[in-house]
Structure 1
């Protein structure tokens, strides 16, 4: 079905994307990997579990819902592998989370980057769209294109391109065409998840005394702005595109720390309709950079990730409301919203919560938003 629902912003209470994988789905994926069931049987189980979790979000009162990212194992790699020109290889090392080791999958270039009209995420979106009523919006999440020129994924770009800029232009084009196809299928709300800015916070700050190294990260930031704004150019006016600035999320651990100050100038240049910002711990710093990130854009909403998705304990409502009031000293309250700081399962392993605790967190987000913004 195609919905005509429009949104100019993220909603006052919003879901970041990923949800805890149910035991049935985890078991089915394991059986599929072992050859015990085929792709059609896996899809049947995935569809059933997706339908259940979508209905739960609707019953909870969410105005935008996701498929929980049940169609993937990683928040980013499964999507990247679906693009033309991207392959799968063994990184042979875990990503450097604090206190936990990941699997060693990675992506790399195997040819020129291009839009893939048969990307498996399109089928997943169509199924998700078929599950929702007209007054509920489907939110599609995909990784930012910046994730393809980090972590050794583009080291061999020169095998396929004469210049780095030509590669970046193809990457932006592939994303632009991919998003347009989602739009043609009925998508009106898409989110690009991105750990690059949190990575840059740590690197830009750490290299201030090393001019050469520092310039490397400045170049990365500038390339990120260029690719993102290029892919966003000319998209339909009734398509909302946001980003989630993630600090890493694996088994309730994290990758990066630091204030947004070091990247605020770059974030302010991005032509997104909204930014989801993680603010669930002291590692995020103060709200001071919000004013610069918002950049007096009346059509931009900053979503404060004040409720952690990493741990089950529920935050104190009064304390969260006080933090929203504090943030409103930097950005008008009308340009703010709240969510959990991240999804609940950026990889299929998931965070250290139960499903009931997950729903309690999302319900808390909704209750606080309705108190702060009565029109929510």
Structure 2
């Protein structure tokens, strides 16, 4: 089934920002001082507001048409949001997430009750503050993790303590997300993105278990559940709300988690009722563009955002090389339905990737320059 929206596509914009930005030193220091009890929550919030205002001005000066708060309100791209839902708790996983060559902190989330919408979720207040910083004509882009992030890494292991069936849990999860997104809309949000590493995880697992029928069936079920829940979340949201996803392969201190072609998940991605998909294509780990046709699935409303410029390293890509790759991609998806971004954000966790703020802005400037050359606006 394809998207039934009929209005013209506005977002994702031809040059877009994935979400996270490098945390400034002042914010990092404030978080460290808060953790030690040296400043209170109000002092931390004041510094966060000041740094958010500064970074938004940088985005506006760059000419971005959609801006984020850099995810300055969180330590992790996903866990801080999940902890804000009713029924989700915080525990020590005692394991680092398995990035190549780098170890993360060991925080995790788990179910402590039935999952539900939290009308006092702290992200609502930070969104409302961000809105005050952005002039008319510029979209405020809100990023949150996909509901599929509660399927994995032991986060739903104890679902049976609160639900009679797995399907009942999935229904509550979808409802909690739907209500959360609707509330963002009621606060003025018109552009929201669900960030998702589950699809990249499935690339690796579906491929690795191809000759293990029982294990393979488990991951096929996970993919099917992901499609079901995401589309359930999206069903009935307002027509003038753009919802996209970023299919992330892992982003921590310039390292990664997953590799592999989109081929194994293309048909699942093609079933999702998103308005746009941000896909990482900054290295040969992602394979070629052939699966794009199935992911786009002939949905004239949907945009595929090519993450051709890496956020992991400071070296600037060659503009002609990127333009040539966009042309290659347009053999599978019409150019009208393509856009450009970095492959990921710059700081999926507060540690950030291995480049400077100036190098970060240079990357985003390059995205805008190339997109303007290709699409003329």
TM-score, reference length from structure 1: 0.98
Distance across 2 between alignment mates of 1:133 and 1:194: 29
SS in 2 for 1:236: coil
SS in 2 for 1:89: strand
Query: Corresponding residue for 1:92?
Result: 94
Query: Corresponding residue for 2:363?
Result: 361
Query: Corresponding residue for 2:201?
Result: 199
1:294 pairs, out of 289, 293, 296, with: 296
Aligned residues: 370
2:178 pairs, out of 176, 179, 182, with: 176
Distance across 2 between alignment mates of 1:366 and 1:65: 13
Aligned 8 A contact 1:147 1:196 in 2: yes
Q: Does 1:336 align with 2:335?
A: no
- 5+ residue gaps, structure 2: 1-7
1:319 pairs, out of 314, 318, 321, with: 321
Q: Which runs of 4+ in 1 moved over 4 A?
A: none
Query: Corresponding residue for 1:58?
Result: 60
Query: Corresponding residue for 1:23?
Result: 25
Query: Corresponding residue for 2:309?
Result: 307
Aligned 8 A contact 1:9 1:299 in 2: no
- 5+ residue gaps, structure 1: 1-5
SS in 2 for 1:313: coil
Query: Corresponding residue for 2:5?
Result: none
Aligned 8 A contact 2:145 2:196 in 1: yes
SS in 2 for 1:180: helix
2:373 pairs, out of 367, 371, 374, with: 371
Deviation at residue 135 of structure 1 after TM alignment: 1.1
Deviation at residue 295 of structure 1 after TM alignment: 0.5
Question: Counterparts of 1:219-258 in structure 2 under 5 Å?
Answer: 219-258=221-260
CA RMSD of aligned residues (A): 0.7
SS in 2 for 1:59: helix
Distance across 1 between alignment mates of 2:290 and 2:267: 13
Distance across 2 between alignment mates of 1:52 and 1:90: 34
SS in 2 for 1:153: coil
Distance across 1 between alignment mates of 2:282 and 2:66: 22
Deviation at residue 9 of structure 1 after TM alignment: 2.9
Query: Corresponding residue for 2:214?
Result: 212
Query: Corresponding residue for 1:145?
Result: 147
TM-score, reference length from structure 2: 0.98
Aligned 8 A contact 1:193 1:245 in 2: yes
Distance across 1 between alignment mates of 2:151 and 2:254: 26
Q: Does 1:161 align with 2:163?
A: yes
Deviation at residue 149 of structure 1 after TM alignment: 1.0
Aligned 8 A contact 1:138 1:189 in 2: yes
Query: Corresponding residue for 1:37?
Result: 39
Distance across 1 between alignment mates of 2:159 and 2:204: 25
